[in-house]
Structure 1
Amino acid sequence: MTKTVHIVGGGLSGLSAAVHAKSLGFTVKLYEASPQLGGRIKKVSHHDNGTHLLVGAYRDSFEYLDMIGTRDQLKATKGGCFSMSEGPLTWDIPAHSFFRSLLTGAVPGVNAFNLFGKTAQRRVWTPLILAIYNTRPSCVSRKLIWQTAREVLRAGQDGLTPYLAIGTLYDAFVAPALTGIDVITGARLQGVEADRLQFKTMDVVLNGDNRAILALPLSAYRHINHPLDIAHHPDRPITNVHFYLEQPVGERFFGLVNTLSQWIHAKDKMISVTISDYQPNDDKLAQKVWREICFHFDKAETNCPDHKIVCEKRATPLQDKGFCKVRRAVKTDFPHIFMAGDWTETKLPATIESAVRSGKMAAQSVFG
């Protein structure tokens, strides 16, 4: 009898689990509560909901892209650099020599003698930590920082090389992954028992030939009846402001220092601004952001373009010491139920790579 893997959750962890389970010869059924798959990289109109950067150290993400045939839909940023600006001051940090460049003065006011001083904190560490962990630097788990650094160093010279999607990440990661997978949308999980999954309109029986992978965000378990040992933990938001232009601009990706705006990706007729660990609290956000970025594109401050604000209120867990304690292994106390998700114990921050890795780990364990 064919073994079937029932995967609940159509985000990246669920898609990764599905692709890997299919490659292992299992029948795959994927259940998603919303009408659209993709999770944090779902589409908004014709573009991604926000800018998502990958780096060379994301070996499981690139393996996943190879499996679905879309590695060529990513490209390294211009010069393979992290470009930064503070007011009129600009600088580049080459990814292939990132740490050596910091020691030798690539960042104004930063060198080997003040690598962790106030200037370095403002111009290097705070922007990077916020981007990676979506958590204020003072709160981030030091254990998690060390695990991340070890992962990057192990990847070698290309470990920090930044990559962006040529089109959209949705087109690179989601759509091509669905071939040969039975996808059921509008299926919201309501309950979990040791031998079944309970949806609103159906039950799925679990046994020796039918196993389940719960590929859900940590926050989703607050709304499901289940016997699993999962503790609640705070979430952190990410806000993206998309400006729609009348004329195309050259593609650019750069970070801003000491501003509300953090990372800017300009491409075609759109400029997208990412603000980590931030939830809008007034109706003037777009105007404030536009004032901070307009001069980088020789645009008038007074002519704020049409725009859309997309706030993911539960983008990631708060990645503090408590987060390390609530992370769970792939295997549960129930032999037919496994877990995936960027919040599970992957020894990585809650990123695209963590989601993809968790799905791979779950698929390899489910009938192992």
Structure 2
Amino acid sequence: NLKQGQTTLALENKIQMRDVTKIQKLLRPIKGISRIGINIESALVHIVHYTDTCSALDCQQILNNFINDDDQKSYLCNIQANAVDVSSSSTAIPDVKHGKFVESTLLAPEMTTLKHIQKIDKIFKMYFINVQLRAHFPHIPSHTIKIEHDPNRISAQSVVDLLKNNGFQNVSVNVDGAIEGLALPSVDSYDEDFRLDKANSKRNQWDLGKGVHMNVFLSGIFWLLSMLSFIGGKWTKLKYAGLLSVFFGIPPVTAKAFRTIRRCQFDANCMMVIAAFGALALQEYDEAASVAFLFSLSEWLEDRASLKARHALNAIVSLRPEHANVMDPSTGVITIVPADRLPVGHSVSVR
């Protein structure tokens, strides 16, 4: 059998997307090359080739001798890895320390909407703690739920039984990680801190209902009372309710204005604080209440919009896989390793 090796060439200059096609056209005619991978960000060229037919030096010379006539750009490079054996199972899979958690896959045909996912989230939060089930990833198109659990504390079948008792009658175990040996890498094996599901974060203690801040709510109530002072007569004394509206509404705005002034700047928060205290000095309590409430309301709406944006970004980031199922080329055994520890050229099982 011919021996295959993987050579890595480090380009001296940065490359762009248009360079990828040019490099591939230069290398493909070389006899013995079976696969070419190019990393634009790190300017690396990974070449899998038969070492008896083609050497790393041959590939290097082809790139070093090329000069683009359009922009006089060259692809000078150095050999970073010389024909590393990719046929050996010992080098095919990184050495990773595995922990006690495994990855199992559940089939849930009834999971078709976001409401079903929210219901599953509530069930898992109510019945499991992180040492039993640390994360779960529902996927509506495939009707699957990947769970990361400790089989010594909770089995995949126990999770299925729980879901069946809570309305998901057709759920079943598709892949049992404990039986298949799909042990997940320990947290120490990752280059960055492993991030668990963010859905367990607690609601702010100042939130009511769907996130209305208590101070905004109280400021609005007292502002409405102060508006009744325009009726006249005995209602005139209600203008002092504006003081309470300012008391509850102005602190967050004042804090932002203080931070702005410390940076030797001036913004809308500073203007609103000046307007509110100016109205108080003129004994126009209802006007001060209007400024305090309306601006605190706008601050709340801004925070709410920012929170939605952060949730959307978190949802996008969560799509990035934390680990990969690497298949040993000689035995077919699947091992789970951190995605950032997976070199180019490995065979990966997609489930």
Structure with more of its chain in strand, by fraction: 1
More helix per residue: 2
Give the TM-score, by structure 1 length: 0.26
Larger Rg: 2
**What TM-score, normalized by structure 2, do the two folds share?**
0.27
Of structures 1 and 2, the one with the larger relative CO (CA 8 A, separation 6+) is: 1
